[in-house]
Chains A and B, each alone.
Chain A
Amino acid sequence: MREIDQTTTDEIRSIVYDYFSEECDVPRKGLSDATLIVADLEGDSLMLLALLDIFRKKYGLTIELKTLGKHLMKRPANTIGQVVELTVALVRFGNDIVDQEL
């Protein structure tokens, strides 16, 4: 398990917000933790996989898609806030995320 400090959490949040703002052509001020990725932004799986790839490169994530998929079946990430929480958990736990009670 990797320790995550507040600076890293803030950095992850900033990357997620900037990503959805740019990809969905929505001003960052128009986004909040409650913004729904599919219903509000017309986001899709390719968008989320591309975001995962950004974090894979930045933090050296070694998560498997199968593991991530199993986790998402238990705890879906429907909003921007949930994507931030998920990413923090991915950086913290990696492939062990599926065993965590988050």
Chain B
Amino acid sequence: MTSSTRSCEPRDPVLGCGVDCEELARFAPMLAAETHPMPLVFTRAEVDHARSLPSPARALCACFCAKEAVFKALGAPYNFTDCELFLSADDTAELRLSPSLAAEHGVGGATVEILDVEEADGAVMAVVVLFASPVAP
């Protein structure tokens, strides 16, 4: 598994963290048709963006892992379309939570890491940390 270790200055309190891992092979069939796969899970923007990348299945897999990881971090059900993940060409990941979801759970920020799990022969893992909204002094 490729991984990285990072350190950072203390920031806002951690609301929760979540991890999820899925196999790429399960997502390739979803992209085979031109239709919008699982619209209750993926937004049109995520699907279109995934299709524009060299590995659409990996991008969609990363989206799903991030949404599941956010669910685990929140500890409460939410509409998966309120959380979007976009991988860039250089493989950095941007996690976007809708304003309504962030406000409902008091989320002020989030970090996400997308990792390739080489031992699992084509799997992706997402690690999400959610931070609380800053408290006014």
Contact = CB atoms under 8 A, between A and B. Distances in A.
- Does A associate with B in a complex? yes
Interface of A: 45-46, 49-50, 52-53, 56, 63-66, 68-70, 72-73
B40 A69 contact: no
B79 A64 contact: yes
Nearest to A72: B77
B96 interface: no
Interface of B: 22, 26, 37-41, 64, 68, 76-80
Contacts of A68: 77
Contacts of A50: 38
A64 B78 CA distance: 9
B22 A56 contact: no
A46 B64 contact: yes
Contacts, number: 35
A64 B40 CA distance: 7
Given A45-B68, A69-B76, 12 more contacts: A46-B64, A50-B38, A53-B41, A56-B39, A65-B41, A65-B79, A66-B77, A66-B78, A69-B77, A70-B77, A72-B77, A73-B77
A45 B68 CA distance: 9
Contacts of A53: 37-41
Contacts of B22: 46
B124 to A, nearest CB: 13
* A-B pairs, 7 with minimum CB distance: A69-B77, A66-B79, A53-B38, A66-B77, A65-B79, A66-B78, A64-B79
Nearest to B81: A65
A52 B40 contact: yes
Contacts of A72: 77
A22 to B, nearest CB: 12
Contacts of A52: 40
A45 B79 CA distance: 14
A65 B41 CA distance: 8
Contact of A65 (B26, B37, B77): B77
Most-contacted residue by chain A among B26, B68, B77, B78 (CB, 10 A): B77
B40 A65 contact: yes
A65 B64 CA distance: 14
